[in-house]
Amino acid sequence: MDRTLVLIRHGQSDWNLKNLFTGWKDPALTPVGVEEARAAGRRIKALGVGFDKAFTSALSRAQHTTQLVLEEMGASSLPVVKDARLNERDYGDLSGRNKAEAAQKWGDEQVMIWRRSYDIPPPGGESLRDTLARVLPYYCQDILPCVLRGERTVVVAHGNSLRALLMVLERATPETIPGIELATGVPVVYRLRADSTVESKQVLEA
């Protein structure tokens, strides 16, 4: 049985380019982000992988990336399930702020703790643990059953919502997860065993 799960972080957004904290704000893809998404679709198609199920967040940069990936694969008609539980983590009071300016205001060390720690949220926002608390049940109840039934599944989401999934798939810990990064627009192809553990992983870099 082909238990395939592909994770893709959305293509570069306008606020990625401007070095702003994005969170639940909804900037569009840049032209670079559009090409990253299209290239992702081409690389997946070249690998010979098709999709039976597609999931994305409630934010337009992830939805647009999903649309472009499926277009390149000739699968534009595939229904896409959109759910806010896959949204990026909420950066609260940092949302819309330039990361360098935030470091000047609160200090480099404090901002890095908010960005990369597991359980310390920024003011008014979510920690990675908070993000995991909404992403993991959705994965277990809605996404994983599709994969285990043999439905080839793609999830297009965000750096932190996908890092929450990596804690499960790659058995990352609160100590190791800060060092794990996901590049924009780069598909990661997992093949799962029947017990939902990872059999193989392939990163489709350019």
From 10, 64, 126, 158, the catalytic residue: 10
The predicted pLDDT at position 177 comes to 87
Average pLDDT rounded to a whole number, residues 30-59? 98
Angle at alpha carbon of residue 63, lines to 154 and 191, rounded to 5°: 10
pLDDT above 90 covers what percent of the chain?
94
The per-residue pLDDT for range 133-150, each reduced to its tens digit, is 999 999 999 999 999 999
Confidence of residue 116 (pLDDT cuts 50, 70, 90): confident
The DSSP letter of residue 151 is -
Average pLDDT rounded to a whole number, residues 86-101? 96
pLDDT over threshold 90, residue 206? no
From 36, 88, 126, 158, the catalytic residue: 88
Contact (CB, 8 A) for 3 and 148: yes
Look up 64 and say whether it is catalytic: no
Structural domains of the chain ordered from first start: 4-152+169-203 (3.40.50.1240)
The per-residue pLDDT of the chain, averaged, comes to 96
Confidence of residue 76 (pLDDT cuts 50, 70, 90): very high
- In sequence order, the 6+-apart residues with CB closer than 8 A to the CB of 87 are 24, 57, 58, 59, 157, 158, 161
The DSSP letter of residue 8 is E
CA distance 27 to 40: 20
pLDDT over threshold 90, residue 1? no
Angle at alpha carbon of residue 15, lines to 126 and 180, rounded to 5°: 55
pLDDT above 70 covers what percent of the chain?
100
Task: Give the sheet arrangement for strand 53-56, strand by strand.
Answer: 80-82, 53-56, 153-157, 4-9, 188-192, 198-203
Confidence of residue 47 (pLDDT cuts 50, 70, 90): very high
Look up 10 and say whether it is catalytic: yes
pLDDT over threshold 90, residue 65? yes
Average pLDDT rounded to a whole number, residues 34-38? 98
Structure tokens at 90: 């909420």
pLDDT over threshold 90, residue 21? yes
The predicted pLDDT at position 97 comes to 95
**Other CB atoms within 10 A of residue 5 CB:** 26
